[in-house]
């Protein structure tokens, strides 16, 4: 039976977000949220302020309106070209799904799939030298509860080169702290890998778990915020920036660096290459 056009957009969105992305492509929750937010912004833009987004049809999401939406992101929301491209990638992924599963909308899907990405100026990913890493860790006041957490968190990041999504999702049951210590990390596409831990990192993690009365094999989050909830990626970014800013008072080379959690991952990779591993 042919699906009514008035509901095909809603049906396609539901199937795309609740089945195709999480189950067939096994995307991480963070990526799912990004896709969902991109499509939500598009639907709201196409519907306009007065119309009900729930009544929007597939035919109303035209190539011209998608291009107008992309222009609005840059001029109305002051988004960078990179953000504009991320939104377009999500839209193109959705219409690739539409073209494959809703043949009545194939022509529309092909038209929107032709929407071009914009070129962006490549920016060098900055990294931390070993002396700078030592300055950041050495400057953390471990006499406080937050300081001890921050020191373990950043030590873990520098040790493993984990993605920030892997850090905020880390649970005590992922840690194997008996010799040889290692950690199970869940990466993109829910792929798992084992990463060795330095003896000092393992020792700090044991103390951290004891302080929070967490048993090593419990399925409980390792890194928590003030409310006892798992740290968010924004929380990790804020912690890193705070301690880099403090260390920059003593190490002048840190003053000119734009650093974020991925910079730490990049730093770990560089030091592994330099050590011949």
**Interval 63-86 mean pLDDT:** 94
User: Catalytic annotation on 193?
Assistant: no
pLDDT of 3 above 60? no
What is the Cα gyration radius of the chain?
Answer: 23
pLDDT of residue 277: 56
pLDDT of residue 227: 86
pLDDT tens string 98-147:
999 999 999 999 999 999 999 876 555 677 778 888 888 899 999 999 99
Which member of 206, 237, 241, 262 is catalytic?
A: 262
User: Catalytic annotation on 163?
Assistant: yes
Share of the chain above pLDDT 90, in %: 57
- Cβ contact 6:59 at 8 Å: no
**Interval 36-62 mean pLDDT:** 90
pLDDT of residue 182: 95
Instruction: Give residues with Cβ within 8 angstroms of 104, minimum separation 6.
Output: 2, 3, 5, 8
User: Catalytic annotation on 277?
Assistant: no
Q: What is the C-alpha to C-alpha distance for residues 56 and 80, in angstroms, rounded to an integer? A: 28
CB-count exposure of residue 170 (10 Å: 0-12, 13-18, 19+) = buried
pLDDT tens string 154-210:
999 989 988 888 999 999 999 999 999 999 998 766 678 899 999 999 999 999 999
pTM, two decimal places: 0.59
Which member of 163, 186, 243, 266 is catalytic?
A: 163
pLDDT of residue 114: 95
Q: What is the C-alpha to C-alpha distance for residues 183 and 187, in angstroms, rounded to an integer? A: 12
What is the rounded (10 degree) CA torsion for 21, 23, 29, 31? -30
Which member of 188, 242, 250, 258 is catalytic?
A: 188
CB-count exposure of residue 92 (10 Å: 0-12, 13-18, 19+) = middle
């Amino acid at each position: 039976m042919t699906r009514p056009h008035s509901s095909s957009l809603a049906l396609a969105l539901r199937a795309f977000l609740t089945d195709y992305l999480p189950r067939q492509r096994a995307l991480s929750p963070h990526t799912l949220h990004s896709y969902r937010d991109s499509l939500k912004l598009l639907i709201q833009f196409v519907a306009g302020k007065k119309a009900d987004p729930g009544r929007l049809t597939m035919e109303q999401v035209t190539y011209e309106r998608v291009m107008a939406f992309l222009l609005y992101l840059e001029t109305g929301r002051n988004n960078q070209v990179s953000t504009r491209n991320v939104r377009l990638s999500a839209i193109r992924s959705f219409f690739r799904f539409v073209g494959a599963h809703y043949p009545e909308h194939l022509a529309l899907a092909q038209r929107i799939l032709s929407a071009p990405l914009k070129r962006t100026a490549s920016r060098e990913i900055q990294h931390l030298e070993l002396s700078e890493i030592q300055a950041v860790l050495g400057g953390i006041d471990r006499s406080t509860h937050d300081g001890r957490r921050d020191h373990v968190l950043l030590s873990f990041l520098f040790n493993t080169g984990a993605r920030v999504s892997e850090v905020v999702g880390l649970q005590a049951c992922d840690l194997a702290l008996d010799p040889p210590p290692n950690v199970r990390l869940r990466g993109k596409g829910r792929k798992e890998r084992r990463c060795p831990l330095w003896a000092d990192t393992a020792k700090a993690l044991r103390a951290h778990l004891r302080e929070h009365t967490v048993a090593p094999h419990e399925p409980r989050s390792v890194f928590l915020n003030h409310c006892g909830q798992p740290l968010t990626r924004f929380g990790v970014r804020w912690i890193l920036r705070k301690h880099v800013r403090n260390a920059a008072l003593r190490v002048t080379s840190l003053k000119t660096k734009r650093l974020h959690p991925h910079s730490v991952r990049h730093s770990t990779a560089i030091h592994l290459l330099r050590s011949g591993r």
